[in-house]
């Protein structure tokens, strides 16, 4: 919606620029200020909760008006848990507000006041919400097949899953093992995923190249061919808070883990967390099967579903899999997006 039209209907111009909404890079912001707490309560009390349990209440459909070349409304969720009220602006750091007397930046008061006065305007003119939430800011979901550069054929997906399920029936115990045995299995994975890059490298060199690096002293084990030495390290030293089994490091979440056999589960376990490495994970699965390594491929069905493009990506909202809509980049997929309904608070 054009800013002039927004101002004519609502009686004010959006105070904030979307690109100027800077928040600290942290999990959440904690504020102890009774005045701000009462202001958030004032906003929440304009509507009935969308969800209510014995422990908390949630309002999903408040909005903050901002300037982004035009007047745009971005969703705000308010959560009340016991005496705490939190407000979460779409894709921004959650802000938790408690009673207290600590000083707080005026910026946070202005944010909540802006949500409040726009709520009053929306209550009078609910129809404008459709003009205030363009595709670049609206949330929804879209199947991966429409946004991924490469997808696994459905028949190929089913074949790979069936092959793995049959292979699983052949597992035999392989505990205990030595450090060198563990590194040799890691090397099978590395060669499968990284090919020529591993040429001329020993298993330990591959591990040092691609693993997390925080190995809890694993590579310092002196008797690398000793099963007893590796078992002792597993039981006594491997839980140091590092990531010795993250054989492919990722800055975002975790990469790929290869867990060694244990007494309780005497086989290897392969897991991928960051699905940017999903194809590498699949190559490793195939290589471990080819080399008859007893292992379990954790979440293999979910990974194959993702690679086949059968997993939903959230649109304009951070999630495990997501994209941000751009008219220039994604104009061809717009017809496949399943937009969330544009809902308003349940006004009192």
Sheet strands side by side (includes 338-339): 322-323, 312-315, 140-143, 338-339
What pLDDT does residue 240 have?
Answer: 86
pLDDT, average across residues 76-97: 95
pLDDT, average across residues 317-341: 89
Same domain assignment for residues 295 and 339: no
What pLDDT does residue 282 have?
Answer: 98
Residue 24 is assigned to a structural domain of this protein: yes
Same domain assignment for residues 281 and 339: no
Give pLDDT tens digits for 95-105.
999 999 999 99
Same domain assignment for residues 179 and 285: yes
Q: Which two tokens stand for residue 229?
A: 């030495």
pLDDT, average across residues 184-207: 97
How many other CB atoms sit within 10 Å of the CB of residue 86? 21
Q: Which two tokens stand for residue 18?
A: 């979307």
Residue 240 is assigned to a structural domain of this protein: yes
Same domain assignment for residues 18 and 41: yes
Give pLDDT tens digits for 271-286.
999 999 999 999 999 9
The three-state secondary structure class of 70 is: coil
Residue 146 is assigned to a structural domain of this protein: no
What pLDDT does residue 253 have?
Answer: 84
Same domain assignment for residues 103 and 185: no
Same domain assignment for residues 181 and 243: yes
Q: How many domains does the chain have?
A: 2
Same domain assignment for residues 41 and 168: no
pLDDT band at 23 (very low <50, low <70, confident <90, very high): confident
Residue 148 is assigned to a structural domain of this protein: no
CB 43 within 8 A of CB 36: no
Same domain assignment for residues 244 and 283: yes
pLDDT, average across residues 286-298: 97
Residue 135 is assigned to a structural domain of this protein: yes
Same domain assignment for residues 127 and 193: no
Same domain assignment for residues 329 and 303: no
What pLDDT does residue 171 have?
Answer: 86
Residue 101 is assigned to a structural domain of this protein: yes
Residue 145 is assigned to a structural domain of this protein: no
CB 177 within 8 A of CB 261: yes
pLDDT, average across residues 237-260: 92
pLDDT, average across residues 315-343: 89
Contacts of 314 (CB under 8 A, 6+ apart): 139, 140, 141, 321, 322, 323
Range of the domain at 239: 154-307
pLDDT > 80? residue 300: yes
What pLDDT does residue 329 have?
Answer: 77
Percent of the chain with pLDDT over 90: 89
pLDDT band at 226 (very low <50, low <70, confident <90, very high): very high
Same domain assignment for residues 197 and 118: no
pLDDT, average across residues 130-155: 94
Full-model pTM: 0.84
Rg, Å, the chain Cα set: 26
For 225, counting Cβ atoms within 10 Å of its Cβ (0-12 exposed, 13-18 middle, 19+ buried), the class is: exposed
Same domain assignment for residues 113 and 21: yes
Q: Which two tokens stand for residue 66?
A: 């901002």
Residue 313 is assigned to a structural domain of this protein: no
Partner residues linked to 86 by β-bridges: 79, 96
């Amino acid at each position: 919606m054009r800013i002039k039209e927004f101002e004519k209907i609502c009686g004010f111009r959006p105070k904030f620029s979307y690109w100027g909404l800077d928040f600290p890079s942290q999990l959440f912001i904690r504020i102890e200020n009774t005045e701000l707490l009462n202001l958030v309560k004032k906003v929440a009390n304009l509507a009935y909760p969308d969800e209510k349990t014995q422990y908390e209440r949630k309002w999903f459909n408040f909005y903050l008006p901002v300037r982004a070349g035009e007047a745009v409304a971005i969703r705000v969720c308010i959560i009340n848990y016991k005496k705490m009220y939190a407000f979460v602006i779409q894709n921004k750091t959650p802000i938790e507000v408690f009673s207290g007397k600590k000083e707080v930046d005026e910026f946070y008061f202005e944010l909540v006041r802006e949500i409040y006065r726009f709520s009053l305007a929306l209550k009078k003119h609910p129809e404008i919400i459709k003009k205030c939430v363009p595709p670049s800011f609206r949330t929804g979901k879209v199947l991966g097949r429409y946004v991924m550069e490469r997808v696994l054929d459905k028949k190929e997906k089913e074949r790979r899953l069936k092959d793995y399920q049959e292979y699983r029936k052949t597992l035999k115990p392989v505990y205990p093992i030595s450090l060198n045995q563990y590194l040799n299995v890691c090397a099978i994975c590395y060669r499968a995923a990284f090919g020529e890059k591993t040429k001329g490298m020993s298993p330990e060199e591959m591990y040092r190249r691609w693993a997390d690096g925080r190995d809890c002293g694993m590579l310092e084990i002196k008797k690398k061919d000793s099963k007893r030495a590796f078992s002792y390290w597993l039981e006594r030293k491997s839980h140091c808070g590092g990531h010795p089994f993250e054989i492919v490091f990722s800055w975002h979440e975790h990469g790929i883990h290869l867990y060694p056999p244990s007494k309780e589960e005497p086989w290897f376990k392969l897991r991928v967390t960051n699905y940017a490495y999903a194809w590498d994970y699949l190559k490793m699965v195939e290589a471990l099967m080819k080399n008859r390594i007893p292992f379990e491929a954790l979440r293999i069905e979910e990974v194959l579903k993702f690679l086949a493009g059968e997993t939903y990506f959230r649109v304009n909202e951070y999630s495990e899999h997501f994209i941000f809509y751009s008219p220039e980049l994604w104009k061809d997929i717009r017809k496949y997006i399943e937009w969330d309904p544009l809902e308003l608070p349940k006004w009192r």
